[in-house]
Amino acid sequence: MRYFDSKIDNDDFSLRWSNRTDLFGMLNIEQKSFENPWTENTFLQCLRQTNFVAKVAYRVKKPEKVFGFMIYELRKEKINLINFVVDPNFRRKGMGSMMISQLLNKLSKDRKKEINFNIRETNLEGQLFLKARGFNATRDISRGYYADTGEDAYHMVYKIGDRDISNRISNYF
Ligand SMILES: CC(C)(COP(=O)(O)OP(=O)(O)OC[C@H]1O[C@@H](n2cnc3c(N)ncnc32)[C@H](O)[C@@H]1OP(=O)(O)O)[C@@H](O)C(=O)NCCC(=O)NCCS
């Protein structure tokens, strides 16, 4: 699959479902990325849920190494993005956009219509990234949502619109 706005050579990087052997790589990226990273146990609890999906970004020539990952929950009418990270050494190369593009392709006017994500109030980089990918902050702020720091969670949402439908149709021409 081609991603219009990606700076990555898409014949080189791709996305696949995660498997048990990816856990170490995911943990490693998580620990390099966050002051309060998820533990192995948190990953395992998430991955055991039947409606949770974990996808990893990998290099086609070396598929076992993980460069980024996303974990999301599939609900009937929406997708809740739970965790989303790119290896710090491979950021600003379009890998995050590649993952989000794949998620946006799961939306449709008559089924899943939106993607939700709770983000730390201090995570400006993440907010800017999501904004650049078409997400908007809502007025819905969860005060003191993060028990570790007491930070608020901003609620960002992507809602499918006519633009998405016409973009997808234009893919076929
Ligand atoms: C947020 C994150 C996933 C972005 O991944 P990425 O692969 O670097 O993103 P992309 O290269 O696709 O960036 C696309 C656009 O998003 C915006 N963006 C991304 N990172 C940004 C930053 N640090 N500051 C400002 N804008 C940023 C830019 O508009 C960028 O386009 P540009 O590079 O042409 O300016 C990555 O920075 C990350 O893993 N952060 C830590 C984890 C995290 O905060 N996760 C939750 C938030 S989604």
DSSP 51-103: TEEEEEEEETTEEEEEEEEEEEEE-SSEEEEEEEEE-GGGTTSSHHHHHHHHH
d(CA 103, CA 126): 16
User: How many helical (H) and strand (E) elements, i.e. helices and strands, does the chain have?
Assistant: 5, 7
- Residue 63 maps to which CATH number? 3.40.630.30
Structure confidence at residue 169 (pLDDT): 59
| 92 occurs within a structural domain | yes
128 lines ligand 1 (CB under 6 A): yes
**Mean pLDDT, range 44-72, rounded to an integer:** 95
| 75 occurs within a structural domain | yes
For residue 3, is pLDDT > 50? no
List, in sequence order, every residue forming a beta bridge with 162; answer none if it has no partner.
none
> CA-based Rg of the chain, rounded to a whole angstrom?
16
Q: If pLDDT is split at 50, 70 and 90, which confidence band does 116 have?
A: very high
For residue 27, is pLDDT > 90? yes
Structure confidence at residue 12 (pLDDT): 87
| 84 occurs within a structural domain | yes
Structure confidence at residue 48 (pLDDT): 94
**Mean pLDDT, range 112-134, rounded to an integer:** 97
Q: For residue 142, give Cα distances in angstroms to 42, 51, 119, 139.
A: 21, 24, 10, 10
- 30, 71, 80, 92, best to mutate for ligand 1 pocket (most atoms within 8 Å of CB): 92
**Mean pLDDT, range 141-148, rounded to an integer:** 94
Give me the percent of the chain exceeding a pLDDT of 70: 87
d(CA 44, CA 152): 25
Q: Which positions ≥6 away from 58 have C-beta within 8 Å? A: 13, 14, 15, 16, 64, 65, 66, 67
Q: What integer best gives the mean pLDDT of the chain?
A: 90
| 21 occurs within a structural domain | yes
Structure confidence at residue 26 (pLDDT): 98
For residue 104, is pLDDT > 90? yes
Owning domain of residue 54: 13-117
Cβ-contact 96, 104 below 8 angstroms: no
For residue 132, is pLDDT > 60? yes
| 112 occurs within a structural domain | yes
Q: How many domains in the chain?
A: 1
Question: What phi, psi does 121 have (nearest 5°)?
Answer: -60, -30
- 67, 99, 120, 125, best to mutate for ligand 1 pocket (most atoms within 8 Å of CB): 125
